[in-house]
Amino acid sequence: MVETQIIPRNIKDRRVLEAMLTIPRHLFIPEEALWSQAYSDFPLPIGEKQTISQPYIVALMTETLELEKTEKVLEIGTGSGYQTAILSMLANKVYSIERIGLLAARARKVLDSINCSNVVIKIADGTLGWPEEAPFDAILTTAAAPEIPQCYIEQLNIGGRLVIPVGEEYSQTLVKIIKTKEGIIKQEMGGCRFVKLIGRHGWKTEDTL
Ligand code: SAM
């Protein structure tokens, strides 16, 4: 996976490559029948109409955060917990929010089984961020928002990085934000397609109105 999909697409951060070589991705896929595809170049279903992201996208989003093992990171959308495990190897502490209880519980179990002890998971609406634990050095959102929730910027440290897919339901742009003393720097990193970020500051459904 790393040699054929990640390095050829220009992911250079050695620590990201190392983490992706180390974390057993198949363990995060609940259906064992899909394990033979766990290292392939596409997302896979994890139940509850959600997906584990394509390996390259995980690598790209992680590299974008420029982590050096000292950071406090917020992840929105724990999903399978695979991206969380990668972050846990590269950051000091990871706070991860998932809105679907079953997915959060499964992710916790797999993360514990591979000794990811620097991860805290909570079941909540991640569009609100995690104000009690802010500020964060980095924030990563693994579901797509119609617009960037303002609270993510507020909950970033100066110098902090945010990576988030933003756009329409079926087509988004991956956006990197750097918070500086003078304001924010915004970089667009290309097209992507994620499931919806559902919540008060994301896409609305009947139960979030
Ligand atoms: N990075 C994950 C992985 O590797 O498995 C992929 C996660 S999946 C693409 C996106 C996740 O975001 C889903 O599990 C979904 O339930 C979750 N999600 C959507 N809206 C959310 C919200 N407001 N707060 C927390 N999680 C949310």
Å from CA of 11 to ligand 1 middle: 23
Average pLDDT, the chain: 96
| Structural domain boundaries in the chain | 58-208
Q: What is the pLDDT of residues 5-18, one digit of tens each?
A: 999 999 999 999 99
Q: Is 53 a catalytic residue?
A: yes
* pLDDT at residue 206, rounded to an integer: 59
3-class DSSP assignment, residue 139? strand
Q: Which of 57, 58, 142 to mutate to test the pocket of ligand 1 (most atoms within 8 A of CB)?
A: 142
d(CA 174, CA 100): 23
Residue 52 has pLDDT above 60, yes or no: yes
For the CA of 194, the nearest atom of ligand 1: 9
* Residue in the structure block whose two tokens are 């009690």: 132
Question: What CA–CA distances, in Å, run from 66 to 1, 23, 105, 110, 196?
Answer: 21, 19, 28, 25, 25
Q: Which CATH superfamily is domain 58-208 in?
A: Vaccinia Virus protein VP39 (3.40.50.150)
Q: What is the pLDDT of residues 105-135, one digit of tens each?
A: 999 999 999 999 999 999 999 999 999 999 9
* pLDDT at residue 205, rounded to an integer: 78
On the 0-12 / 13-18 / 19+ scale of CB atoms within 10 A, 109 is exposed
